[in-house]
Amino acid sequence: MSDASLREEAGRLDAADGLAKIRDRFTLDETVYLDGNSLGALPATVAPRLRDVIEREWGSLRIRSWDESGWWTAPERIGDRIGALIGAAPGQVVAGDSTSVNVFKAVVAAVRMAGEDRTEILVDAATFPTDGYLAESAARMTGRTVRPVAAGAMADAMGDRTAVALVNHVDYRTGRLHDLPGTTAAAHAAGALVVWDLCHSAGALPVGLDAHGVDLAVGCSYKYLNGGPGAPAYLYVRRDLQSRFDSPLPGWNSHADPFGMSSDYLPADGAVRGRVGTPDILSLLALDAALDVWDGVDIADVRAKSLALTDFFLACVERYVPAGRVTSVTPAPHEHRGSQVALRCDDAGEVMRRLTERGVVGDYRRPDVLRFGFTPLYTRFADAERAAQVLADVLREVDEEAGAKPGPEVVEAGAEAGAPSGHDAGEGNR
Ligand SMILES: Cc1ncc(COP(=O)(O)O)c(C=O)c1O
Ligand SMILES: Nc1c(O)cccc1C(=O)C[C@H](N)C(=O)O
Residue 406 in this model has a pLDDT that exceeds 80? no
pTM, rounded to two decimals: 0.94
Regarding the beta carbon of 197 and ligand 1, being less than 6 Å apart is answered yes
Residue 414 in this model has a pLDDT that exceeds 50? no
Comparing 282 with 406, the larger pLDDT belongs to 282
Please report the ipTM that was assigned to this predicted complex. 0.97
Establish whether 33 is an annotated binding residue.
no
pLDDT computed for residue 428 by the predictor: 47
The secondary element (H helix, E strand) that includes residue 342 is: strand 340-345
Establish whether 142 is an annotated binding residue.
no
Q: Give the whole-angstrom CA distance, residue 239 versus residue 304.
A: 30
Q: Give the whole-angstrom CA distance, residue 343 versus residue 333.
A: 16
Contact partners, residue 21, CB within 8 Å, separation at least 6: none
Question: Any idea which ligand is nearest the CA of 365?
Answer: 2
pLDDT computed for residue 417 by the predictor: 31
Contact partners, residue 216, CB within 8 Å, separation at least 6: 106, 109, 110, 193, 194, 195, 196, 235, 236, 237, 238, 241
pLDDT computed for residue 430 by the predictor: 56
Write the pLDDT tens digit of every residue in 30-46: 999 999 999 999 999 99
Please compute the mean of the pLDDT values over residues 138-160 and round it to a whole number. 97
User: What burial letters (b/e) apply to 283-295, b meaning 16+ CB within 10 Å?
Assistant: bbbbbbbbbebbe
Regarding the beta carbon of 429 and ligand 2, being less than 6 Å apart is answered no
Give the residue, out of 174, 225, 363, 430, with the most ligand 2 atoms within 8 A of its beta carbon, to mutate for a pocket test. Answer: 430
Please compute the mean of the pLDDT values over residues 220-238 and round it to a whole number. 98
pLDDT computed for residue 337 by the predictor: 98
CATH 3.40.640.10 for domain 48-294: yes
Query: Is residue 222 annotated as part of the catalytic site, yes or no?
Result: yes
Sheet containing strand 93-95, strands side by side: 93-95, 234-237, 216-219, 193-197, 162-168, 120-124, 145-149
In the predicted model, what is the mean pLDDT of the chain? 94
pLDDT computed for residue 425 by the predictor: 35
Comparing 405 with 150, the larger pLDDT belongs to 150
Residue 427 in this model has a pLDDT that exceeds 60? no
Write the pLDDT tens digit of every residue in 188-208: 999 999 999 999 999 999 999
CATH 3.40.640.10 range(s) for the chain read 48-294
Q: Residue 287: which pLDDT band, with cuts at 50, 70 and 90?
A: very high
Query: Is residue 364 annotated as part of the catalytic site, yes or no?
Result: no
CATH 3.90.1150.10 range(s) for the chain read 3-30+298-422
Query: Is residue 128 annotated as part of the catalytic site, yes or no?
Result: yes
How much distance in Å is there from the Cα of 430 to the middle of ligand 2? 6
Q: Give the whole-angstrom CA distance, residue 417 versus residue 215.
A: 41
Regarding the beta carbon of 356 and ligand 2, being less than 6 Å apart is answered no
Which residue type sits at 103?
V
Which residue type sits at 394?
V
Residue 185 in this model has a pLDDT that exceeds 80? yes
Residue 112 in this model has a pLDDT that exceeds 60? yes
- Residue 172 CA: nearest ligand 1 atom is 16
- Residue 102 CA: nearest ligand 1 atom is 10
Report whether 120 contacts 145 (CB < 8 A).
yes
pLDDT computed for residue 429 by the predictor: 53
Regarding the beta carbon of 38 and ligand 2, being less than 6 Å apart is answered yes
Residue 415 in this model has a pLDDT that exceeds 70? no
Residue 169 in this model has a pLDDT that exceeds 50? yes
Phi and psi for 25 in degrees, rounded to 5?
-80, 0
pLDDT computed for residue 48 by the predictor: 98
CATH 3.90.1150.10 for domain 3-30+298-422: yes
Write the pLDDT tens digit of every residue in 73-101: 999 999 999 999 999 999 999 999 999 99
Establish whether 334 is an annotated binding residue.
no
pLDDT computed for residue 313 by the predictor: 98
Q: Is 45 helix (H, G, I), strand (E, B) or coil?
A: coil
Q: How many residues does the chain have?
A: 430
Query: Is residue 197 annotated as part of the catalytic site, yes or no?
Result: yes
Residue 412 in this model has a pLDDT that exceeds 50? no
Catalytic residue among 128, 313, 372, 378: 128
Query: Is residue 236 annotated as part of the catalytic site, yes or no?
Result: no
Give the residue, out of 39, 172, 372, with the most ligand 2 atoms within 8 A of its beta carbon, to mutate for a pocket test. Answer: 39
pLDDT computed for residue 274 by the predictor: 98
Rounded percentage of the chain residues whose pLDDT exceeds 90? 92
SS3 content of the chain, % helix, strand, coil (to 5): 50, 15, 35
Residue 419 in this model has a pLDDT that exceeds 70? no
User: Which protein residue's CA is at the shortest distance from atom 4 of ligand 1?
Assistant: 99
pLDDT computed for residue 3 by the predictor: 76
Catalytic residue among 35, 80, 171, 197: 197
pLDDT computed for residue 421 by the predictor: 34
Establish whether 252 is an annotated binding residue.
yes
Rounded percentage of the chain residues whose pLDDT exceeds 70? 93
Regarding the beta carbon of 199 and ligand 1, being less than 6 Å apart is answered yes
pLDDT computed for residue 75 by the predictor: 98
